[in-house]
Amino acid sequence: KAGVTQTPRYLIKTRGQQVTLSCSPISGHRSVSWYQQTPGQGLQFLFEYFSETQRNKGNFPGRFSGRQFSNSRSEMNVSTLELGDSALYLCASSLRGGSSNEQFFGPGTRLTVL
Amino acid sequence: GESVGLHLPTLSVQEGDNSIINCAYSNSASDYFIWYKQESGKGPQFIIDIRSNMDKRQGQRVTVLLNKTVKHLSLQIAATQPGDSAVYFCAETMDSSYKLIFGSGTRLLVRP
């Protein structure tokens, strides 16, 4: 079974631009969560999507948004990029509703904002 | 490889020794806890989990201990191997939520 895939793996943008990151969950998984990882703040929850609806949201500004498609693939968007948005963005998928709520992480997208 | 964290506490152990990694969690209402391992350039990988109705759970070479009184979690790795070198994170959540709250992480270095 293929794992969680994220594209692109690396991205360089400049301040003020916007970016879209993509995540394909494990086949059969319907929940997708997004996390931001930085050396200073560690791993922080952004949001979770299930059945195309946002179920949970972390403490990030409205510049961070996401969506989920009917095939469970998810995208997250960051608008008006700031230098502090440079981070590793991780996506995790889960069955949601199964006997375990184990989350499986992808390799991440490394975003650098110049 | 990519640096996960520049100022993580580091535990250095000799190959073959046992390792103990500790974590203080934040929310007394959390009822599900997970340990993740993150190697350079990769996403976190599930190691073991425990629910709040247990105080100990064993896996293959790993044991997780939960002390709810002091909100403390530990991960014990038996016979530590070079492949165990990584950053280890604890995470907490309430079972009905898929929002994981991660600890700051500990870097484990295994000396050959």
User: What are the pLDDT digits (tens) for B34-90?
Assistant: 999 999 989 999 999 999 999 999 999 999 999 999 999 999 999 999 999 999 999
Using CB atoms, pick whichever of B6, B43, B102 lies closest to residue A106. B43
Collect all residues of chain A within an 8 Å Cβ-Cβ radius of residue B92. none
Interface touch A105/B44, C-beta < 8 Å: yes
Is the per-residue pLDDT at B9 higher than 50? yes
Distance from CA of A112 to the nearest CA of B (A): 13
**A23, A35, A38, A43: best mutation site toward chain B, by most B Cβ within 10 Å?**
A43
Distance from CA of B64 to the nearest CA of A (A): 16
Collect all residues of chain B within an 8 Å Cβ-Cβ radius of residue A45. 99-101
What pLDDT shows up at residue A95?
A: 85
The string of DSSP letters for chain B reads ---S-SS--EEEEETTS-EEEEEE-S-TT--EEEEEEE-TTS--EEEEEEETT-SEEE-SSEEEEEETTTTEEEEEESS--GGG-EEEEEEEE-TT----EE---EEEEEE-
The band of A96, judged by pLDDT with boundaries at 50, 70 and 90, is: confident
The band of B6, judged by pLDDT with boundaries at 50, 70 and 90, is: low
Using CB atoms, pick whichever of B36, B93, B98 lies closest to residue A55. B98
User: How high does pLDDT run on average in chain A?
Assistant: 94
Segment A61-90 shows an average pLDDT of: 97
Collect all residues of chain B within an 8 Å Cβ-Cβ radius of residue A41. none
Collect all residues of chain B within an 8 Å Cβ-Cβ radius of residue A50. 98
Using one digit for the tens of pLDDT, what is the confidence trace for A32-55? 999 999 988 899 999 999 999 999
Is the per-residue pLDDT at B1 higher than 90? no
Interface touch B49/A100, C-beta < 8 Å: yes
Segment A64-85 shows an average pLDDT of: 97
Interface touch B43/A90, C-beta < 8 Å: yes
Distance separating alpha carbons of residues B17 and B15, to the nearest angstrom = 6
Any long-range contacts for A63-72 (C-beta under 8 Å, 24+ apart)?
A66/A34, A68/A32, A72/A25, A72/A29, A72/A30, A72/A32
What pLDDT shows up at residue B84?
A: 97
Interface touch A102/B97, C-beta < 8 Å: no
